[in-house]
Structure 1
């Protein structure tokens, strides 16, 4: 007999014991006759047997399902996130089992995201660190043909590492909800123009032309430094995926009660199988990760986090080419 069964049986016996005591008291106080007392006592015998059988029948499936949940919990504790309780009941124990299974599913998702994050970070750290190490060894051994050129390359790799650390820190603040916004009146056209000037050297290297299209000035209440990062991230992504001799267009307009900012490039656009996860952290359309083509796959994820913090939305538009649309409340 399970512990649960013994408890059920004990509870039933306590109830029956109380009933027998009440019958005896009633007989002593002359509320019932001795004949009735004897009859009731004998009637309690099959009641005791029936209670025992019912307690065992009720306790057995409950104990079995509780053991299933315990076994699944032990497997999860040992690191097996594929474990499920397998309990299907229409009662509180079934609800607890369902919530346990949901918890394990979420833990599995978090663990996969953590593994992807560590893999992405280690991969993106490896390239600049290897380049820095090679440059330092070449300068130290006196085999660098042009030490100044090597120092310029080292500075470039340090900037890449610094950018990666900044992105990771911002991503952590967005996930934890600790990002503080310094809001103020912001002209979207000026913001986009400044971001385009910042990235114009990269566009010229890739032979890409940047254009700004705005019918009228659009002013919103927002954090200028954070939204500037959003525009820079979207522009950087568009420039890196735009073909040579093409145009990256930034459109700004009013759309009802929203401000609309669109970044459009003439590249191949977002692959169909990538569109649903484009704004997830540490993901890229191109799996060949290289700090020269981006940083850890955080650009679109950070953009979404900042826009969401401003109570706005960001999503992919229809092509041709790559189209990203940002909507912010006016």
Structure 2
């Protein structure tokens, strides 16, 4: 994998966000010529400081992937495309569904159309979500689990996935779809209150504020450190054998929310309280979820390297170094 990216032209949409910037930094270290596209819409988490360690080695185009005309130019001559631009808030997708439709569905189709017109040889890695499974019918969830999304975000991400599959089969535009679970780590967006509990919990822990856990705290989740997610993306982009496939990411060890908070308490002075679910969150809560990544492991050898304790220690240390940039 390390040699594959040397000299490659790589486009990362959403590249100033949490996962995109971590990926871009790794790509630069691997010798890739990296172009980032990011709209810098405040609510979506783009942050120029995220690429500070390699600011002079990464090109940035401030553009919105909803602009189909700019996509024709941006995809030309790229060898690999990481499609990470997205609206990731499940709650926001319900409160204001049209931006989610535009970004997670229509824009993905526009991106594929640009590749069909200008660059059919590009390899695409699409960051999808476990939310499309809805409430698990069995655990761990594998890729054969029924797809029954319970919010607008899950529906639009599923449609986006289907576009990638269609264009792979019909036009030969190679793509891999990775279904991400709860991702955490340095550079994550801590300011949002709607992107998931991990960022909210970490922010409150760093600020010494009380964490509110909805329900009884026994809900189980799996977690991936961002470095492990980037490893998976790089493997997917470099391995021709996985083209056309979709895979879960995940972790062998799920944690209850109470265990997540207890792990945070090893590195911060934080307290918590149990509170009833707000009705709007209860309606889209999926209960217990943890996925099987065995199919991706069998195909590529990938498995997560970070356990939660090590990962949260690393995350807390990063944000304590740069509080003004993230808090």
Q: What TM-score does the superposition give when structure 1 sets the normalisation length?
A: 0.21
Larger Cα Rg: Structure 1 or Structure 2? 1
Please state which structure has a larger fraction of its residues in helix. Answer: 1
Q: What TM-score does the superposition give when structure 2 sets the normalisation length?
A: 0.21
Higher relative contact order (CA 8 A, sep 6+): 2
